Each structure stands twice: as C-alpha cells, then as structure tokens.
Structure 1
Amino acid sequence: MSDRTKVFILAGLCLLFAGLFLAVGLTPDNYEYFLSRRIPKVLAMVLAGVAIAQSSLAFQTITNNRILTPSVMGFDALYLLTQVIVVITFGGFSVYVLNDYINFAISVVIMLVFSLALFSFYFRSEKRNLIVLLLLGVILGQLFSNLASFLIMLLDPSDFTAVQMSMFASFNKIKMELVYLCGPLLLLICIALYRMHRVLDVFWLDRDNAVSLGVDVRRVTVIVLALSAVLIAISTALIGPIMFFGLLVTNLAREMLNTYKHSVLLVACSMIAVVSLLGGQWVVENIFSFSTTLSVIINFVGGIYFLSMLLRSKVV
C-alpha cells in the first residue's frame, strides 16, 4: 500500500469519526442543542491534535531524536505553572485570567522565552549530548509541576477554580473564544512548517550534513522552537496537558509511512492525532460511559511506550 493511499485512508477515518461524534444521539428535536455542544468540542480536538502532532514532529527533527517532544521536555508543566502564577499575582477574577486572549498571550510569551533560553544553552555547545538535554527537560518539567502543585495548595477555593481547568486534559469545557483565536494562528503555523518541509528533510540527516548542504541550522532551530512553543500553548489552552500523546502519534506515523519526507509526515501525523482523539473520546463516551478519561489512557500507553524507547539504544 502506497503512502498516498494511507494518507487518504487516514483522511477518511478523520471524517468518519467526526461524523460519528456529531451524529450519535441526534434527533430532529435536539439537533440544535447537541450540535451547539459538539461542534466546538470537535473543533478543539482537531486543532489540539494537529498542534501536538506538528510540534512534536518538528521538535524531533531538529533534535534528531525520536523520544524528545515538547511535552516530555516540560512545556505542559510550564503552561500550568504560568496559569497558577498569574492567578496568584493578579487574582482569579482579574482580566489577565478571565480574558482568554490576554491569558493566552501571556502563556505564549513565557513559553517562547523558556524554549529559547533552554535551547540556546543546548545549541551553544559543539559537543551536544541528547541525554543531558532529555534529563534537563524532564527535571525542569518536574520542577515546574511540583512548584505548580505547591502553589495550588496555597490558593483559596475561588482562585483554585480559575486554574482547575488547566490542570487536567478536558474535552467537555471548551472555550469557543480560544477556538476562534487558535484556529487562524494554527493555520499560519502549519503553513510555515509545511513550507519548511525540505529543510526539515535535510535536518533529519543530522546537523553536520545539514550544515554541509547549506542550511542555516541556528536560524531554522530558533524558528522551529518558537513555532513548537506556540503550538503547545494552543493545544494546552484548548484541551489541557497530554504528556505522551505527541510521542505516540509521531512514532506511529514514522512506522506507518515508509518515507522521510516531512511534506507527507506532517499531514499524516496530524491526521493520526485527530483520529486518535476523536475516536478515543467517542469510545470513552459511548462504550466506557465516562468510566475513564482519554487522557489517562493516552498517558498510560504513552508512558509504557516511552520507557520501551528509552531502553532501545538506537534511539539515543
């Protein structure tokens, strides 16, 4: 089966699960209410899936390693810590918390600063060690998570409700204002990454080969890191943190498709993420009757897969 056929099948599965998610339980009497609730949820899952998939794939390419993703490096934990600090500083009912646009802008700026600071340290050295980078990201992510947990314990109940939605992945409380904001922004970033697909193909050959082929490694790295930080901010703002989801969908895309071309991988990886979120949430709601959550399943499976990849010497 060719890669093009696989991409078409994935596109069909995206449409199928989106249709199932929207259509189950609809009647002529309730369709207006059901669609008003489900369409924002579907849009949020589509946007979040594409954001996680593309940020993870681009991130793995510039680090030339298949176990590194922005979530594993602590970006999700940083987003939560940012939300807690904003609430503590300005209060749970301040404009910086209640205004989705201002709140999102603050989170994006902080995540951009963190990503550039972290990787300026890493890429400054000629003798780079990916294990050191991985350990540094995991340690910082755990630090951010522990700080956020400690500060949350100090919040009063009214302020706690302001950050509660950011603590866990949720597909039931979608802010339409963020969907309208993140949709055009995500489209622009996806176009930018797609236009860089040939450069990313060369990057996967390793840094020395990319330099010898005329790629400005430092410039491309900074651009991809900045775009990845914004994409993670988009996905976390829409549905919350899902740590290992990017790791799963990117490696599944590389296993399914016999190609190195990012023009195909970016599209296929995004579709796999959308199918996984829509299909998984449909199963959770209609088969498991909300007895579990999709984020728990993803983190459980992804954690096992992450450990198995760490034990394979070829990925590091």
Structure 2
Amino acid sequence: MVERRLFFLIGLLVVACGLFLFWNLRSPMGFILSLRFTKIAALCVVGAAIGTATVLFQTIASNRMLTPGIVGFDALFVFIQTALVLTLGSVGFAALPSLAQFGMETAILVIAAVALFSVLLRNGAEDILRLVLTGVILGVLLRGLAGLAQRMLDPSEFSIVQQATFATFGAVDETQLAVAAVILGASLFGALKIARYLDVVALGRNVALPLGVDYDRVAFMALGLVALLVATSTALVGPITFLGLLASSLAHAVLPSWRHTQLLPAAAVIGATILVSGQFVFERLLGLQSTLTVVVEFVGGVLFLFLVLRRSKP
C-alpha cells in the first residue's frame, strides 16, 4: 500500500514535469527546452531539499508544526545580500563571481544553522522552545539591521537588493544548480542511511537511549543535513519558508507510515511536485511571473496557523 502510494507520487511528479517541459512548445525547440529543463531542475532540487530537511527537523524536534525556515534563514539571507550591496555597491555586487557568491552564502548559512541547531542538542527535544525563540529573535534583529542598511542605499541599489532577496527560479545559474544537485543527492543518501535510527529517535530521547541508539550523534547528523539542505536551497534561489511544512504535512497525510525510508522520499517528491505544478499553472496557464512563492508562503502560513490553533484546543 505505502509503496504504491509512493510510486503514485513519483508518477504525479513525472506528469507535472512533462507538462511543464512540453506544454505549448514552439520553435526553436532545443533552446526553449534547455531553458525549461534548467528551471524544472531548479524547482525539483529546491522542493526536494526543503521537503527532506523539514521531515528531518520535525523528527529531531518531535514537533510536526515546525519548519527549519522559521528560525531565521530568510532574515540572514536578506542581511547577507544587503550587506554585500552596501559594501560593494551595485557594480561590485554584479561583478561578483556567481559560484563564489553561492559558496560563500551557503557556507555562512550552514555555519549559522549549525550554531543555532546545536542548542537543541543540550537537553534533547526539551530545548526546542528555546531554539525557536532564539531563531525568531535573531530573525527580528537581522531584519532590523537589514532594514537600517537598506535605508542607506540609493534607489537603484535598493532595487537590486529587492530582486536578490526574493525567491525566483527564472535565472538560476547552471553551475550553481549542478553543485546544489550534488549536495542534495549526497544529503538524501546520508538521510536514508540514518533513516532506521531516525525511526527510533522520533520516539524521543528517553526512549531512544535505552534502545541502544546514540541520540545525540544521530540528532547532530540529522541537523547537519538540515543545515546543508536549507542553506543550499536558500543560496540557490532565495528563502521559501513554509514550503517544507506543506510537503511534510502532505507526506504524513498520504503515507500512513512512520518509517523515514518512506517519509523522506515522499516529502522530497511532494515538495518538488508542489513547485513544478504550481509554476506550470502560473507560468503556462495563467501567464503570470514571480507569483508562485507568494502563494506557497500564503498557503503554508495558513496551514501553520491551522496546526497551531488545532494543537491549542483543549
């Protein structure tokens, strides 16, 4: 039953990719297909990375309402972009080698995430409230600093910051995409290698330790993968905070399973399907541009509020 549902999800993704690639295809076909393939690859990589990272994060946090993006990834990304434009100017920012910028942003986000997530390992899942509060406070601080810096920019530089900090799939560098795809593949492989231990870790620290599972080691490995996946996807296209919550919630709803060998691929496939099908609807059917991320964030935010309100009921 579970395997059939997982294959069905993969089939939906294949259909969505086929529609995106070949819908209303005209000459020159080779050039158009190359552009569409780059975009669809970026959509799949980012969706799969965020979906996988969210399942891992929720397992360690023992809370299905949380997503790693809620702890301030977007604010740090905006701060980095603003600082670069402020210090280098619009010409210097545009002259930055794209791969070097991508690597630097990924490294900063990974280091910051590992430093923040390590708070969770002190007392296990009991520290999740402190982790979230710390992330939210740091996010507010970084947004304030970024807002102050943006007031010092001239209008042309401010427009560059706005363009750089909004998630977009229209101009993804192929070299960066290739690096991100390799990181995603390695991270998914690593996540599946520790999946059987995650099944036990999901029961909590007090249960995992007597069963012979090194809770701290598995949690550190999982959080390291979360940091790598979210940092890579954010540096590639920009922040998408609530996509992971949608993918994870749908994965748990579609698959009646607690096994991470099934949940992780399902969340990855669903995350990719949401982005590909959503981009197809807005770009191919409605003729709109740069709208998908706004809708995903809105729907994900509504889902987050629903989960919070449902959990708060007596």
Moved more, 271-280 or 108-117: 108-117
Specify the code of the residue in structure 1 equivalent to 2:9.
L
Question: How many angstroms apart in 1 are the aligned matches of 2:156 and 2:129?
Answer: 41
Which residue matches 1:16?
Answer: 15
Match among 170, 188, 191 for residue 190 of structure 1: 188
Q: How far did 1:19 drift?
A: 0.8
Percent identity reads 37
Please give the secondary structure, in 1, of the residue aligned with 2:288.
coil
Q: How far did 1:115 drift?
A: 2.0
Q: How far did 1:5 drift?
A: 0.9
5+ residue gaps, structure 1: none
Question: How many angstroms apart in 1 are the aligned matches of 2:253 and 2:191?
Answer: 21
The C-alpha deviation readout for 1:84-142, integer Å capped at 9, x for no partner, is 22333344444897222222222222222222322333432479243333233223223
Per the normalisation by structure 2, the TM-score is 0.91
Question: How many angstroms apart in 1 are the aligned matches of 2:292 and 2:121?
Answer: 36
The number of residue pairs the alignment matches comes to 313
Per the normalisation by structure 1, the TM-score is 0.91
Which residue matches 1:204?
Answer: 202
Match among 71, 87, 91 for residue 73 of structure 1: 71
The root-mean-square deviation of aligned C-alpha atoms, in Å, is 2.3
Which residue matches 1:3?
Answer: 2
The C-alpha deviation readout for 1:234-286, integer Å capped at 9, x for no partner, is 21223221111101110110111110001001111111111111111111113
**Is 2:70 the counterpart of 1:58?**
no
**Is 2:304 the counterpart of 1:306?**
yes
Moved more, 290-299 or 173-182: 290-299
**How do 1:229-248 residues align onto structure 2 when only pairs under 5 Å count?**
229-248=227-246
Question: How many angstroms apart in 2 are the aligned matches of 1:93 and 1:226?
Answer: 35
Match among 150, 171, 174 for residue 173 of structure 1: 171
Conservation of the 8 A alpha-carbon contact between 2:102 and 2:236: no
Which residue matches 1:132?
Answer: 130
Which residue matches 1:86?
Answer: 84
5+ residue gaps, structure 2: none
Which residue matches 2:142?
Answer: 144
Which residue matches 2:270?
Answer: 272
**How do 1:239-258 residues align onto structure 2 when only pairs under 5 Å count?**
239-258=237-256
Conservation of the 8 A alpha-carbon contact between 1:40 and 1:174: yes
